[in-house]
Amino acid sequence: MKRLSQKNLCTSTPQNLRLTKSVKPKARLGSLGRLAAGWMILQTVLLATPVLAQKDQSSLNYGEFLRKLEQGEVSKVELDETNNRAKVTLKQQPEVSKDVLVFENNPGLASKIRESGAEFENKTSIDRSTTASILINLLVIFLLLLGLIMIIRRSANVSGQAFSFGKSRARFQMEAKTGVKFDDVAGIEEAKEELQEVVTFLKEPEKFTAVGAKIPRGMLLIGPPGTGKTLLAKAIAGEAGVPFFSISGSEFVEMFVGVGASRVRDLFRKAKENAPCLIFIDEIDAVGRQRGAGIGGGNDEREQTLNQLLTEMDGFEGNSGVIVIAATNRPDVLDAALLRPGRFDRQVMVDYPDYKGRLGILEVHSRDKKIDSEVSLEAIARRTPGFSGADLANLLNEAAILTARRRKEAVTMSEINDAVDRVVAGMEGTPLIDSKAKRLIAYHEIGHAIVATLTPGHDLVEKVTLIPRGQAKGLTWFTPDEEQGLVARSQILAKITSTLGGRAAEDIIFGDTEVTTGASNDLEKVTSMARQMVTKFGMSDLGLLALESQEQPVFLGNDSMQRSEYSEAIAARIDSQVRTIVLQCYENAKKIIQENRYTIDRITDILVEKETIEGEEFRKLVKKFSASSLKKLAV
């Protein structure tokens, strides 16, 4: 019964809204009527009732006037029966006339004036009260009509909004002038080639139809945030020169069931009227998630919207001439029916750019900035692996901001390096003073750097610094020597060993009683890498087994409990293997620290003094002090 009552409440909501809209105008008219009636009574009282004037030197009340009249002090009286007023001149003040407010229908007043011997004159003025009353009434009627018109117009607007509730909110341009061309998009050449086919088909469809080819009805852009999916859509719109509709997936979904489906129908109806055209749906995962999945079932409004989208893209009627381009960074949550051929025929991967791609992106974003001639974009591209296009644009913008703050005319490598550090690690903090804590942090960072330098297969050291950034009190940067999609077992072990180098340096230099919490984040990374080696990559004595799968979100209808895929005995062996890998790498790190103690001490002194050592300088210092250490041992 409870569920039924909720359903009735939801379905009756529009009726309640209509009742409210129909009752409100009547209530407003009633209040306006009461206001008008009160105003008419008020103005009648004001016009019909004599206003008692305040007593002053130029006026007399009626009693004083009669008394002076009986005493013979009045010399002249001018009576105006229309306004019920009299002008009285006294014998003592012949130059001053005083006003007296007399009563209506007073026939004996004229005889009393004559009997007193005063000069009497009866005047009749124009009665303007009727005209004033008519004008005031007309003003009230005008105000009432004006209020009624405003109420009617507001009600009409509300009704119009109710009728347009299900219309599409897509932004439409006959020829999208986005200001973005394919020349402005770099770093994703493969995606550009596939999307250029769409532009070619829209401009010269006969090239494809001549051989019986059909352009895909839908293209799905998949990639991490910031890699240029929306920028590609803008480039397509700028290049194609055809009608262009753009909308976000969240704009389809509303509170009321059926509104999203109505907007989808209206969008494709307009698109078919302007075919050939493009429709771009950004963040399609907001409306295209799997139906009926997750805890508590699905969402009726979103599922109806998705069903209508599926039908419009490839249903009974078809949608020839309409190309749909969508973007998402969550392809795993999309419904399978949406991804089948005939709807989204192609899935275009827009991934993080490689070295050449980053170089091209930097060249594009540096066009409108003053860059010093000594700045090497190649060095920046080599130092920023894993950066997306948005990250690189933000990097150059931060460098330009730093340049303006330092009052320089052009961006130099100093601003570029500081901007990279800020984007990756956060804002620069206040350097530590020379103390035990600063020396301990220096040994920790040098431990990372020297273990990485002396371990085969590890990335090169880019910089070692004691300047705090974000939550880190010190940082050691590494730059990959080359980019490759596959990682060898030796490289993972080298990363684990160098990550433990800081803790190993604290242990060797200060003793196990003086180790600090500075390696907490390092231990988390080490444990994660070692566990993946055992459970995912098959790089342990347990053999070639994938014991843990990729974790899936709960709302996709997968097993939300993440049940164990192995027995307790295997779990114990996994923990043992992880511990063995970590301890072995830790012993290797301690060995490197012990063998290069002289080198570490000398470089630490330099780091405490300079606070930052660049990678090339660090490698020279390691070579120099290692040679000195060997000479001392030889002697």
pLDDT digits (tens, 9 = 90+) for 273-287: 887 788 888 888 888
**Domain range enclosing 594:** 436-551+563-634
Residue 556, domain member (yes or no):
no
Distances from the Cα of 242 to the Cαs of 94, 178, 541, 579, in angstroms?
96, 12, 61, 61
Residue 542, domain member (yes or no):
yes
Whether residue 556 has pLDDT greater than 60: no
> Is residue 385 located within the same domain as residue 472?
no
Give me the pLDDT at residue 20, please.
38
> Is residue 139 located within the same domain as residue 37?
yes
Residue 282, domain member (yes or no):
yes
Residue 400's domain is classified under what CATH number?
1.10.8.60
Of 276-280, 392-396, 460-464, 584-588, which range is least confident? 276-280
> Is residue 404 located within the same domain as residue 342?
no
Active-site residue set? 445
Q: How confident is the model at residue 91 (pLDDT cuts 50, 70, 90)?
A: confident
C-beta separation of 223 from 330 below 8 A: no
> Last residue of a domain, which of 71, 101, 125?
125
Whether residue 256 has pLDDT greater than 80: no
State how far the Cα of 311 lies from the Cα of 264, in Å rounded to an integer: 10
Of 102-116, 210-224, 279-293, 380-394, which range is least confident? 102-116
> Is residue 310 located within the same domain as residue 415?
no
Residue 547's domain is classified under what CATH number?
1.20.58.760
Highest mean pLDDT among 307-321, 378-392, 540-554: 378-392
Per-chain mean pLDDT for the chain? 78
Q: Which two tokens stand for residue 22?
A: 């129909």
Question: pTM of the predicted model, to two decimals?
Answer: 0.65
Whether residue 3 has pLDDT greater than 50: no
> Is residue 291 located within the same domain as residue 382?
no
> Is residue 394 located within the same domain as residue 327?
no
Residue 149, domain member (yes or no):
yes
Name the more confident of 253 and 592: 592
State how far the Cα of 419 lies from the Cα of 393, in Å rounded to an integer: 11
Give me the pLDDT at residue 483, please.
60
Residue 110, domain member (yes or no):
yes
Q: Is 145 exposed, middle or buried (0-12, 13-18, 19+ CB in 10 A)?
A: exposed
> Is residue 330 located within the same domain as residue 398?
no
Helices and strands, counts by H and E, the chain: 22, 14
The helix or strand, by DSSP H or E, that contains position 97, with its residue range, turns out to be strand 97-101
How many C-alpha atoms does 77 have within 13 Å on its Cβ side? 29
Whether residue 391 has pLDDT greater than 80: yes
Give me the pLDDT at residue 53, please.
39
Domain count, the chain: 5
Condensed to tens digits (0 to 9), the pLDDT of residues 93-125 reads 766 677 777 766 666 676 777 777 677 776 766
State how far the Cα of 101 lies from the Cα of 80, in Å rounded to an integer: 10
State how far the Cα of 611 lies from the Cα of 346, in Å rounded to an integer: 52
State how far the Cα of 376 lies from the Cα of 411, in Å rounded to an integer: 11
Distance between first and last Cα of the chain: 95
Residue 520, domain member (yes or no):
yes
Q: How confident is the model at residue 561 (pLDDT cuts 50, 70, 90)?
A: very low
* Mean pLDDT calculated for residue range 243-264: 77
> Is residue 85 located within the same domain as residue 220?
no
Distances from the Cα of 414 to the Cαs of 374, 403, 420, 466, in angstroms?
11, 9, 10, 17
Residue 11, domain member (yes or no):
no
Give me the pLDDT at residue 15, please.
40
Give me the pLDDT at residue 63, please.
74
* Mean pLDDT calculated for residue range 487-501: 93
> Last residue of a domain, which of 424, 454, 474?
424
> Is residue 246 located within the same domain as residue 304?
yes
> Is residue 471 located within the same domain as residue 381?
no
Give me the pLDDT at residue 445, please.
93
Give me the pLDDT at residue 34, please.
66
> Is residue 623 located within the same domain as residue 533?
yes
> Is residue 111 located within the same domain as residue 228?
no
The answer to whether the peptide bond before residue 224 is cis (omega within 30 degrees of 0) is no
Residue 1, domain member (yes or no):
no
> Last residue of a domain, which of 319, 349, 379?
349
Residues in the chain: 635
Distances from the Cα of 375 to the Cαs of 54, 278, 289, 370, in angstroms?
90, 41, 46, 11
